Amino acid sequence: MAVVAACTPSDARTRGGDDDTRASRSPRTPAQPEQVVLEVDRNRESRGVVAYGGADAPYNYGPTVMRDGDKTRMWWCSQYGRARPPGDDVLHARSAGLDGPFRAPGGGIPEAVLSGAPGSFDGKHTCDPSVIRVNGMYYMYYTGAAGSHDHGNAIGLATSTDGRSWKRTGTPIVRASHDTARDNTYGAGQPAVVHVDGWFYLMFTDTTGEAAGWNGAGQFVLRAKQPTFSGNVEALGREGFTPVDGTAATRARSVVDAFSADLMWIDAMDSFGIAHQTDSGTTITFWNRDFSARPYEPVVLPVPWKEGPGLLRSPEGHALVSREDPCGRLPIDVVQATRTGRSGAPTGLRHFGADAHGFEGCRTVAGALAALDGFAVPSPERTMDVIAGGRVLRVERRSVAEALSSRVLEQRLPILDEAEVAGRLPAEAPVVASPEGRGFLLGDTIWPVTGASAGNAFAANSSEPESISSDQWRTHTLGPVLGS
């Protein structure tokens, strides 16, 4: 099969091996004495390749990895001969864990879920996916290109209710800024997205950006309240985040010297983590909430690579919480291409990981509520507290708390005594169900319950759902989502 040139060509991809000019370096910011040096242990890796396309897939790289309920889901860049038109395709597969094997739902070979749309900006290539899920909707940000044209790459957006059937928004949400002309004519692409406190943060490559390196390397950040980035956009510049007229605003500041990086929000550390590749391996660089300081020294996983890493993240792009020590231990896991295939493009997706520790994530009430999001702990009243969305729900029955949480801690952290109780869930509390969802009705607030845990929680609480209309649902205040 002939291989069509990918929308992520070699001129916009860092390389492993001895090519020092292509591997990214840690950000050149002044050393900060207050940076915490983290310890790293529990190194782990898969025994071999964890995911690959069907027999005619010549390459596999650029993954985005999500822990979604009891499954680990992955989308990545490949190419299927049967997926028309010829060009890059986004594949999807899932597994019980990171070490695979990743297969399509039903057990078959990974499925192509997004391909080129002839006549559109992404007419030939769709690649470099970054997928998050917010309020039940999946958002895929991806690189699209109509062909091999200078500065032809742009960032598109597609939405889905299941992560498999996607609907494009139709036009790119980010194009090249054309601040500076360079030999690297890739353009804009390689997005990484997280959702934090109501903001969508979009990190991406733009080889024409003012602050990009001589070879076009650099990662720029935009944020907006809307997933489409169609209004009220802010760009990260020399003075922090400032409002801009649109997503093509001057790329005045890069947060890391890299191509094809990934981004996550780490609740316990109140920091962003950027996974990118350097001469030493896969590096995690940390930035605080407003990208004004780097509170922790970078962590390096000395592992092989050929193309950008995909971090294992929660549906909204957050780091997963350590079940052993949610306040002081950070699991870091990536999947990345590790070798060059016969087509000359990256392939060999493998899993690597380690734990970082040596930070104090629960020193404040806000930090504890963030680090323990989704957990249940004993309350001072011989009931249980479920922590969700930065709020505390006091639950009468332990069985209900177990159904609504990801884990139950047997010891209560003293700092939680300073947290306000936002709601109380007694036995037999009313439950409402509408086309908008299902949830416990506590006073005038609906606490939505999602996923398989909903039925278990309602049954354990001896609560019978009452049907209401969508209009009736919307008259109530919505609390944090439980059981997601």
Residue 2 located in a structural domain: no
Residue 233 located in a structural domain: yes
Residues 346 and 385 grouped into a single domain: no
Residues 264 and 406 grouped into a single domain: no
Half-sphere exposure of 206 (CA within 13 A, CB side): 29
201: which 2 tokens?
A: 């943060």
Domain termination site, one of 326, 357, 388: 357
Residues 17 and 163 grouped into a single domain: yes
Residue 398 located in a structural domain: yes
Q: In terms of residue numbers, what domain contains 332?
A: 10-357
Residue 253 located in a structural domain: yes
Residue 327 located in a structural domain: yes
Residues 170 and 265 grouped into a single domain: yes
Domain termination site, one of 332, 357, 382: 357
Residue 425 located in a structural domain: yes
Residues 33 and 68 grouped into a single domain: yes
Domain count along the chain: 2
Residue 1 located in a structural domain: no
Residues 338 and 222 grouped into a single domain: yes
Residues 226 and 375 grouped into a single domain: no
Residues 125 and 51 grouped into a single domain: yes
Residue 484 located in a structural domain: no
Residues 319 and 468 grouped into a single domain: no
Which CATH number characterizes residue 54's domain?
A: 2.115.10.20
Residues 351 and 387 grouped into a single domain: no
Residues 287 and 423 grouped into a single domain: no
Domain termination site, one of 341, 357, 373: 357
Residues 219 and 73 grouped into a single domain: yes
Residue type, 458: F
Contacts of 462 (CB under 8 A, 6+ apart): 427, 428
Q: What is the pLDDT along the chain (484 residues), one digit of tens a residue?
A: 333 334 543 344 322 233 332 345 445 554 555 899 999 999 999 999 999 999 889 999 999 999 998 899 999 999 998 877 878 999 999 999 999 999 999 999 999 999 999 999 999 999 999 999 998 899 999 999 987 766 689 999 999 999 999 999 989 999 999 999 999 999 999 999 999 999 999 999 999 999 999 999 999 999 999 999 998 999 999 999 999 999 999 999 999 999 999 999 999 999 999 999 999 999 999 999 999 999 999 999 999 999 989 999 999 999 999 988 999 999 999 999 999 998 899 999 999 999 999 999 998 999 899 899 989 999 999 999 999 989 999 999 999 999 999 889 999 999 999 999 999 999 999 999 999 999 999 999 999 998 777 889 999 999 999 999 999 999 999 999 998 6
Contacts of 188 (CB under 8 A, 6+ apart): 153, 154, 155, 174, 175, 176, 177, 204, 205, 206, 207, 208
